[in-house]
Amino acid sequence: MDQRFLGKVAVIAGGTGGLGRAVSRAFLAAGARVIATYRNQNEFDTLKADAGAAGSSLAGWKVDVTDENDVRQFTDKVIAEYGRIDILVNAVGAFAGGTNLWDTQPKTFDQMLALNLRSGYVQARAVVPTMLEQKSGVIISIASKAAVDHGAGASAYVASKAGVVALMDSLAAEVKGRGLRVNSILPSIIDTEANRKAMPSADFATWPKPDDIARVILFLCSDEGKLIHGASIPVYGET
Ligand SMILES: NC(=O)c1ccc[n+]([C@@H]2O[C@H](COP(=O)([O-])OP(=O)(O)OC[C@H]3O[C@@H](n4cnc5c(N)ncnc54)[C@H](OP(=O)(O)O)[C@@H]3O)[C@@H](O)[C@H]2O)c1
């Protein structure tokens, strides 16, 4: 039985999403106490039911991670209840594409920055002081292959994800030597239900699976990953 994270407190923002739910399940299976943020109650209830006996170590909070007050209240509640936060995985995000930059509406541009970039800033701002006090903690942000592979037709998404990598790199430099580790993950197209529906004729076999990406995240958060700090890890599968 995997008990690598026994007693650890892991916050998984977007912990009911296509990738987030695999990450939540993996931490639960490895003994962590998991707090998943969600927006849709049904999705959280399903995650809890699917977790079986491990579901007793799963809590959930409805949080809008773009709202600083909401995130701060949530973080304060977690610290009051659990006494610490060992791991923060930010799996919140959204995609917008299919238009050239000059046809991209300002509203779409702002949404990409809010969900993909600002969410990470707001959460790190709330959690890092506690991790610094603890002299330990791991932060993982889910960026994207698009953060380093700047193709046409998704400029707002690409820029927001490149921003995630820059934000986490800079944070990593700030906390270096103080017991914290900060890394980004760069998935290509993930094999989620939503992507299968959106691209029915694609070869799903080549896409990285959520459970496989979750395993990489657990490795990075574990003692085995203790040398990795300030990195952006590609998880491209065969794409
Ligand atoms: N899927 C891919 O192919 C792919 C590729 C590269 C990178 N990524 C990145 O990987 C991460 C996870 O992707 P995914 O496919 O799992 O996406 P997803 O299924 O859409 O999950 C995103 C999660 O974020 C939550 N969320 C959205 N807006 C929020 C807000 N304002 N406050 C709080 N939570 C909010 C969603 O909640 P609701 O379900 O209630 O909206 C959902 O739980 C994202 O950062 C994404 O950009 C995904």
For the segment 16-74, what is each residue's pLDDT rounded down to a tens digit? 999 999 999 999 999 999 999 999 999 999 999 999 999 999 999 999 998 999 999 99
Active site residue 82: no
Name the pTM for this structure: 0.98
Nearest to 87 by CA among 38, 56, 128, 146: 128
Cα torsion at 130, 132, 135, 139 (round to 10°)?
A: 80
- Boundaries of every domain in the chain: 9-235
Residue whose CB lies within 8 A of the most ligand 1 atoms, among 25, 119, 121, 142, for a mutation test = 142
Residue 183 carries which side chain, given as an amino acid letter?
N
Give tens-digit pLDDT for 81-104: 999 999 999 999 999 999 999 999
The CATH architecture of the domain made up of 9-235 is: 3-Layer(aba) Sandwich (3.40)
Q: Looking at 9-101, list the stretches that DSSP marks H as alpha helix, in order from N- to C-terminal side.
A: 20-29, 41-50, 68-82
SS3 187: strand
Residue 120, helix vs strand vs coil = helix
pLDDT reported for residue 109: 98
Task: Name every residue whose Cβ is closer than 8 Å to that of residue 115 and which is 6 or more positions away in sequence.
Answer: 65, 66, 92, 93, 94, 160
Question: How far is it, in rounded angstroms, from Cα 33 to Cα 127?
Answer: 17
> What is the percent of the chain where pLDDT is above 90?
97
- Which of 19, 37, 204 to probe ligand 1 with, by most ligand atoms within 8 A of CB? 19
3-state secondary structure (DSSP) of residue 13? strand
Give the pLDDT band (50/70/90) at residue 164. Answer: very high
